[in-house]
Chains A and B, each alone.
Chain A
Amino acid sequence: MTWRPVLHRSVVLRHDRVRGIDLLLLPERVVVLHGSAGRVLGLCDGSRAVDDIVAELGARYPGAPVAGEVPEFLTALRKEGWLR
Chain B
Amino acid sequence: MTVDPPWALLAELTHGCPLRCGYCSNPVELTGRSRELGADQWSDVFRQAAALGVVQTHLSGGEPLLRRDLPRIVAAADTAGLYTQLVTSGVGLGDRRMAELVEAGLRSVQLSVQHADPTASERIAGARSFAAKERAARLISASGLPFGLNIVLHRANLDALDELIDLGLAWGADRIELAHTQFHGWALRNRAALLPTREQVERARGVVVRRRELLDGVVELVWVAPDWVEATAKPCMGGWGAVSLTVAPDGTVLPCPAAAALPGLDPPNVRVRELAWIWRESKAFNAYRGESWMPEPCRGCALRSVDHGGCRCQAHALTGDAARTDPACRHAPDHHLVRDPVHGPRTGLAYAHREGAP
Please report A residues at the B interface, Cβ cutoff 8 Å.
9-10, 12, 14, 16, 18-19, 23, 25-28, 30, 81
A71 to chain B, nearest CB (A): 22
> 22 A–B contact pairs at CB < 8 A?
A10-B107, A10-B174, A12-B83, A12-B107, A14-B81, A16-B53, A18-B5, A18-B51, A18-B52, A18-B53, A23-B55, A25-B55, A25-B56, A25-B83, A25-B107, A26-B83, A26-B146, A27-B107, A27-B110, A27-B148, A27-B175, A81-B217
B7 within 8 A of A: yes
Q: Which of A9, A10, A14, A81 has a CB less than 8 Å from the CB of B55?
A: A14
Q: Give residues 39-84 of B contacting A (CB, 8 Å).
A: 51-53, 55-56, 81, 83
Interface residues on B, range: 20 to 34
Q: Are A28 and B148 in contact (CB under 8 A)?
A: yes
Decide if B144 is an interface residue (CB 8 Å cutoff).
yes
Q: Which residues of B contact A9 (CB under 8 A)?
A: 144-146
A30 cross-chain contacts in B, Cβ below 8 A: 7, 55-56
B114 on interface, CB distance cutoff 8 Å:
no
B227 to chain A, nearest CB (A): 19
B145–A10 contact, CB under 8 A?
A: yes
Q: In the assembled complex, which residues on chain A have CB atoms less than 8 Å from the CB atom of B108?
A: 10, 27
B232 cross-chain contacts in A, Cβ below 8 A: none
- A23: B residues at CB distance < 8 A: 55
Bound: A26/B220 CA distance, A: 13
The CA-CA distance from A69 to B85 in the complex, in Å, is 33
Bitwise, B289-321 to A at CB < 8 A (1) or not (0) is 000000000000000000000000000000000
| Other contacts beyond A16-B55, A23-B55: 6, CB < 8 A | A14-B55, A18-B53, A25-B83, A26-B146, A27-B110, A30-B7
A18 and B110 CA atoms in complex are apart in Å by 28
**Chain A residue at smallest Cβ distance from B217:** A81
Query: A4 CB to closest chain B CB, in angstroms?
Result: 20
- Bound Cα distance from A26 to B56, whole angstroms: 9
- CB of B78, distance to nearest CB on chain A (Å): 10
Docked complex Cα distance between A25 and B57 (Å): 11
Cα-based distance from A27 to B81 in the complex (angstroms) = 14
In whole angstroms, how far apart are the Cα atoms of A25 and B56 in the complex? 8
For the complex of A and B, list the 9 residue pairs with the smallest distance between their C-beta atoms, beginning with the closest.
A10-B146, A27-B108, A18-B53, A25-B83, A27-B146, A18-B5, A12-B83, A27-B85, A30-B7
* A14 neighbours in B (Cβ, 8 Å): 55, 81, 83
Q: Which chain B residues border A81 with CB–CB below 8 Å?
A: 217
